[in-house]
Structure 1
């Protein structure tokens, strides 16, 4: 067993993902170990009301590479990630969803691209999506508006995993409790003139569970964009700014 501090810490917030968590974790572990990456998985029970928490406890007992963080009440995707990142020990820190829609080998590609490209932040860019028309169009509209508003040279703002250097993470002072956390990472990284890499990947359909994306999600994105634009790049936490919608 490798007792060194992990090079890569991957945070995965899980809210009622009992149908996916065991498969997602096992496939990630296999992909990371095949590449001989010294890693830890920080699995966040993000206020789940099903058996997700129990399954995480069982997985942690079986593997020293798993760390479990519990959030008693779900306050959003971003809040789960923020809590997980606080316990991450790696030189490089990343986060991604726990729904199994990203191939584990693509997670490895993002990590290697970060190192080889000497980026401060590297993320996926979903070039093909198999998760339905509504989610595809919501994402397309959001990305167009976001790029036009903030003049960012990055596509697919909400694509994850996002993996960053510890230096980058420590400078970002993340605060968004909802899905706008993805945008916050990109905006603050750009403001700090950090280099950002992207890896094209295919986004698969969910194998289990359900997403809560709705047309109303667009309104939530508009509101977040307006609020962020109004206050500018701010490094102080403001709990009242962010809601709890699903991503584009």
Structure 2
């Protein structure tokens, strides 16, 4: 695939503070995607806080030298997860765009199932929902609160699990979203905007693994901000 070729599928991986682990994860992802299509790119979002000890961008650079299928986006951070996701989506070129976390929590073959489903046609977004999750009581309870409150405030949006990934969107669907969030609210913003447009979605079950090797980056202040945004979007 040349630089001017539009790939069928863009994989946007959020790699914040992944470190050396992103090497194996990216290679495994490449191996899987190459079995689905020969027209793809992998966008590695390794944005970082200046003066931090995060070396993720160095490993992303290593991958870029290894294979042209990898495209790194490594910028000084101006926001949190939402900003990272927006930058990755903006740099993607594919007809279909898959966004996912690079921490290895979800079974990687869930990408295959989501991609096959969206290619059936008729869907603007196909995503997973977590039937079980191994990342502890804290995150499980928070997730249930999020999803319950979301269903109360936005009952017309038929979604079981707002934050679950991977999410695969059509290029047409993404182009209409006009995303603004710089924080953890971006998954909810995607679902709210899709609901406003009446876009058809599908959700597939997945089991999430325990988050190994690092703690959650979701702090209490982020939870409060998320809840404030839910009400702001509902009543604006």
**TM-score scaled by structure 1?**
0.87
* 2:22 counterpart of 1:38: no
Q: Which residue of 1 aligns with 2:139?
A: 135
Which 5+ residue runs of structure 2 have no aligned equivalent?
A: none
Write the distance in 2 (CA, Å) between the matches of 1:224 and 1:188.
Answer: 14
Which 5+ residue runs of structure 1 have no aligned equivalent?
A: 232-248
Cα drift, residue 145 of structure 1: 0.5
Write the distance in 2 (CA, Å) between the matches of 1:114 and 1:12.
Answer: 19
* 2:224 counterpart of 1:219: yes
* 2:208 counterpart of 1:203: yes
Structure-to-structure mapping, 1:46-195, within 5 angstroms? 46-47=47-48, 49=52, 50-151=54-155, 152-195=157-200
Aligned alpha-carbon RMSD (Å): 1.6
Cα drift, residue 117 of structure 1: 4.8
Cα drift, residue 201 of structure 1: 0.6
Structure 1 residues 211, 19: CA separation in 2 closer, same or farther (over 3 Å shift)? farther
**Residues 91-121 of structure 1, C-alpha deviations (whole Å, 9 max, x = no match):** 0112111111112111111111111253111
**Residues 174-227 of structure 1, C-alpha deviations (whole Å, 9 max, x = no match):** 111111110111111111011001111111112333212345544232111122
**TM-score scaled by structure 2?**
0.92
For this pair of structures, how many residues does the alignment match? 230
Is the partner of 1:68 in helix, strand or coil? strand
**Residues 37-72 of structure 1, C-alpha deviations (whole Å, 9 max, x = no match):** 521111111215311000000001101111011221
CA contact (8 A) 2:184 2:222 kept: no
CA contact (8 A) 1:17 1:209 kept: no
Is the partner of 1:122 in helix, strand or coil? strand
